[in-house]
A and B are shown apart, each in its own frame.
Chain A
Amino acid sequence: MKRTTLPLHAIAWIVGAFILIPIVYALIGGFKDTSQLSTNPFGLPSPWQTGNYTEVLAAGSFWRQMWNSTFIAVLTTVVTVSLSAMAAFVFARFAFRGRELLFTLFTAGLMFPFAVAILPIFVMLRTLGLIDNAWGVILVQSAFGLPLTIIILRGFFRSIPGEIEEAATLDGCSSFAFFWRILLPMARPAMATVSVLAIVGSWNNFMLPLVVFSDESSWTLPLGIQQFQGQYSSDTSRILAYLVLAMVPALGFYAVAERHLIGGLTAGATKG
Chain B
Amino acid sequence: MTTITRKPEAGRLPAHARPTRGKRRSWVTIALFVLPALVLFLLLVVAPILVAVYASGFKWNGFGGLPTDFIGFDNFTRLFASDIFLTDMWHLLVLVLLCLVIQLPLALGIAMLLNQRIRGRAIYRLVFFAPYVLSEVITGVLFSLILSPTSGLANGILGLVGLESEFLANQDTALMSLFIVMTWKYFGFHMMIYLAGRQNIPNELLEAARIDGATGWEVFRHVTLPLLGPTIRISVFLSVIYTVQLFDLVWILTEGGPAHSTETLAVTMFDLGFGRSQVGYASAISVVMFALSLVFALGYQRFVMRRDMEGATTAMGDTR
Contact = CB atoms under 8 A, between A and B. Distances in A.
Contacts of B90: none
B193 A111 contact: no
A162 B14 contact: yes
B40 A250 contact: no
Interface in A107-127: 107-124
A66 interface: no
9 contacts: A5-B119, A15-B110, A94-B17, A95-B13, A108-B2, A111-B241, A119-B52, A206-B251, A236-B148
Given A109-B45, A239-B141, A254-B130, A143 B290 contact: no
A89 B231 CA distance: 28
A84 B41 CA distance: 11
A74 interface: no
Task: Identify which of A83, A91, A107, A147 gathers the most chain B CB atoms within 10 Å of its CB.
Answer: A83
Q: Is the interface of B mostly helix, strand, loop or mixed?
A: helix
A166 B15 contact: yes
Interface string B258-277: 00000001100110011000
Interface in B210-239: 230-231, 234-235, 238
Interface stretch (B29-37, B92-100, B164-172): B29-37
Interface string B95-126: 00000000000000010011010110100101
Contact of A120 (B38, B55, B251): B55
B41 A119 contact: no
A126 B40 CA distance: 17
B252 A226 contact: yes
A162 B15 contact: yes
Interface residues of B, number: 108
B127 A236 contact: no
A117 B13 CA distance: 35
A25 B1 CA distance: 41
Contact of A253 (B133, B196, B317): B133
A256 B116 CA distance: 25
Interface stretch (B68-76, B77-85, B278-286): B278-286
Contacts, number: 311
Contacts of A56: none
Given A19-B128, A111-B297, A42 B156 contact: yes
Interface residues of A, number: 113
Contacts of A102: 34, 38
A243 B142 contact: yes
Interface of B: 1-2, 4-6, 9, 12-18, 20, 26-27, 29-30, 32-34, 36-38, 40-41, 43-49, 51-52, 55, 62, 110, 113-114, 116, 118-119, 121, 124, 126-131, 133-138, 141-146, 148, 151, 153, 156-157, 184, 188-189, 192-193, 196-197, 230-231, 234-235, 238, 241, 244-245, 247-248, 251-252, 265-266, 269-270, 273-274, 279, 282-283, 286-287, 289-290, 293-294, 297, 313, 316-317, 319-320
Contact of A271 (B4, B145, B283): B4
A44 interface: no
Given A86-B36, A113-B293, 15 more contacts: A18-B184, A19-B130, A83-B36, A87-B33, A87-B38, A103-B2, A109-B41, A124-B51, A155-B317, A158-B12, A207-B248, A211-B274, A226-B137, A229-B141, A236-B145
A115 B34 contact: no
A246 B142 CA distance: 11
A26 B142 contact: yes
A119 B234 contact: no
A184 interface: no
A22 B244 CA distance: 27
Contacts of A253: 133
Contacts of A162: 12, 14-15
Contacts of A139: 40, 44
Interface in A200-252: 200, 203-204, 206-207, 211, 221-223, 225-226, 229, 236, 239-240, 243, 246-247, 250-251
Contact of A140 (B1, B20, B44, B293): B44
Given A87-B33, A143-B45, A175-B26, A41 B156 contact: yes
A38 interface: yes
B248 A119 contact: no
Nearest to A262: B192
Nearest to A106: B41
B133 A272 contact: no
Contacts of A104: 2
A49 interface: no
A119 B34 CA distance: 27
Contacts of B297: 111
